[in-house]
Structure 1
């Protein structure tokens, strides 16, 4: 009686259901980190996914979690595939049951005293799957310097998903870009916070954001220099947080120092900003005699608190970018 339904169930039991995944308008596929606590969304070029990426390992561009290639489907893709598979299964069973009902009704004798018929109601008729649609293209497109794999992210990325390579130059550039975004969006943050928590908390938060730009820049430049310096040995801890010591170290390794790229005025300005960062980190921003002596900044007296302006941050980033670019070019020529 239920021959077609039994056949359909057997086919479903032994078969597989494949759900296509669409690429976006630029030819990129959506991927998501499977690590709990990260779940970073990114995209990979479809051609490179087949030609460059390896089945045994893919890396998260944000946290460098490593997992086989079949574990990088997005949460949205998995949910869509589950729903589509269920819809298709229901549709195939529904169609088989309707065929069984039709065959049963055809075999019933006509004109007799007792007649029987079978009817199937409800259910879905769809027996095909709809591909998982791609999310909107991501603006930041990156090509790995090591394996040439192309991928795209929102915000920033630290590692290549195809080979796990960490680009020191791209990481430094991303760090400075994040600091600049923090500086440029303070008024937007302030306006939102005033509505949410009031003017006092908004002012405290925005001032803190502004002041942490100096600390973020120093740490970014330190990490950048440490990576660039690896071929020359292992420097003392945090040596690149001290401008004079870092400059001397590069002079010994490359034969050039920071004053090869910065004018005397620029170098003095950078030293003042480094000292301001030191005050904020260790003195809550309160000026002492050491600050005046080391920075040469006579605009403050001991006991005052320093002020960090947007112009300070912009100058700071410009000078770090200039040093970073000069060091990268010199290191490349030195290889």
Structure 2
């Protein structure tokens, strides 16, 4: 149920419940309650992972339409369990309030029985062994249930496999309904995040940007971009190869970090009977990618200082051994664009 409205509801056994809560059944001393959970303005229902405690949103109608035996996935860590385990703290507070309201009335009902009913509101006295007890029954009127006011939506996604619409607040790897996202979707998300980070740098106030640039913050972030691009291709290449090559484990034995090396990556697929990756991207793009990967390598392993290995991979470079390479925003944006083309070509290798 979503967004119940109205006044107090007269539930089972005459209990008064706040709008959005009602008693729908009873078995002995056990009561079954229905408690509405309001959605946000776009019709999305908040969810919170019981394992990592991070929050996301699921379109309420789709969530309500899930099969009875369906599990819900955390979009961030991949934990999956009964959908009822994914209540947010505010939703739980709302449910607890409704249960407390019922509890107060149950206790009052038992006290009324113990002290002779509630037909009269006059104080009743019971005494024994010199002890006098005074009890006065009074009606209970529940306060409105706590509302739901959680973080606003920014990023809404639609799963390519099951079409579920959901919203996330950070990097994620899973669909709430069908689990692991396709490797290409993960790669494109990661590339979009790199572009967004570069865009954020351009939005810094001038004085802040100047101070950050002077401290080397920009350069380090640009180096991180190249490092992350290599990681994107490594993860995608591994997922595609392991997902399509029957004897992948045997072919990869002893070839550590092979998915980080572009030439070896291309040769790996060729040896497994697939087209040459180098033929699936523009020749100039391939040469730029080789340079980007080599640049990342010297920054990761040699503080950006040119060595003989770099010059062997990038013979057209005008840099000399011992000089430090420079990185720019423009170089990073070009690297992102070329990496996306490489990722698309990589996935296309295994398609008929």
TM range (shorter): 0.7 to 0.9
Separation in 1 of the partners of 2:265 and 2:121? 88
d(CA) in 2 for partners of 1:226, 1:331: 13
Cα distance in 2 for residues equivalent to 1:162 and 1:279: 42
Task: Choose from 339, 345, 351 the match for 1:320.
Answer: 339
Q: 1:308 pairs with 307, 323, 327, which one? A: 327
User: 249-258 vs 178-187, which deviates more?
Assistant: 249-258
Work out which of the residue numbers 253, 258, 263 in structure 1 matches 2:278.
Answer: 258
In structure 2, the residue matched to 1:15 is 31
1:211 aligned to which of 220, 223, 240: 223
Tell me which residue corresponds to 1:142. 157
Q: Secondary structure at the match of 1:287?
A: coil
**How many aligned residue pairs are there?**
310
Instruction: Report the Cα offset of residue 22 of structure 1.
Output: 1.7
Tell me whether 1:185 sits opposite 2:205 in the alignment: no
SS in 2 for 1:331: coil
Aligned to 1:113: none
Given the superposition, is the C-alpha separation of residues 132 and 21 from structure 1 closer, same or farther in structure 2, using an over 3 Å criterion?
A: farther
Q: Which structure is higher in RCO with an 8 Å CA cutoff and minimum separation 6?
A: 1
1:68 corresponds to which of 68, 82, 88:
82
Aligned: 1:103 with 2:120: yes
Query: Which of 228, 238, 241 is matched with 1:229 structurally?
Result: 241
Is 1:293 equivalent to 2:312 in the alignment? yes
Alignment of structure 1 residues 21-170 onto 2, 5 Å: 21-35=37-51, 38-52=52-66, 55=69, 57-87=71-101, 89-90=103-104, 103-105=120-122, 125-126=141-142, 130=145, 132-133=147-148, 135=150, 138-170=153-185
3-state SS of paired residue (2:179): coil
Check conservation: 1:276, 1:306, Cα contact below 8 A: yes
Displacement of 1:260 after TM fit? Answer: 2.6
Q: 1:220 aligns with which of 225, 232, 246?
A: 232
Can you give the 5+ residue segments of structure 1 that lack an aligned partner in the other structure?
1-5, 108-116
Distance in 2 (alpha carbons) for counterparts of 1:183 and 1:11: 60
Given candidates 160, 166, 186, the residue that maps to 1:171 is 186
Paired with 2:262 and 2:337, the residues of 1 have a C-alpha distance of: 16
Contact 2:275/2:349 (<8 A) preserved: no
* Structure 2: runs of 5+ lacking an equivalent: 1-12, 16-25, 125-133
Conserved? CA contact 1:57–1:69, under 8 Å: yes
* Aligned partner of residue 18 in structure 1, secondary structure: strand
Q: Quote the RMSD (CA, aligned, Å).
A: 3.7
- Sort the Cα spacing of 1:193 and 1:85 in 2 relative to 1 into closer, same or farther, 3 A: farther
Q: Which has the higher helix share?
A: 1
CA distance in 2, matches of 1:39, 1:182: 25
Q: TM-score, normalised by structure 1?
A: 0.77
Whole-Å separation in 1 of the counterparts to 2:212 and 2:65:
55
Given that residues 272 and 297 in structure 1 are in contact (C-alpha distance below 8 angstroms), is that contact kept between their aligned partners in structure 2? no
In the alignment, what sits opposite 1:283? 302
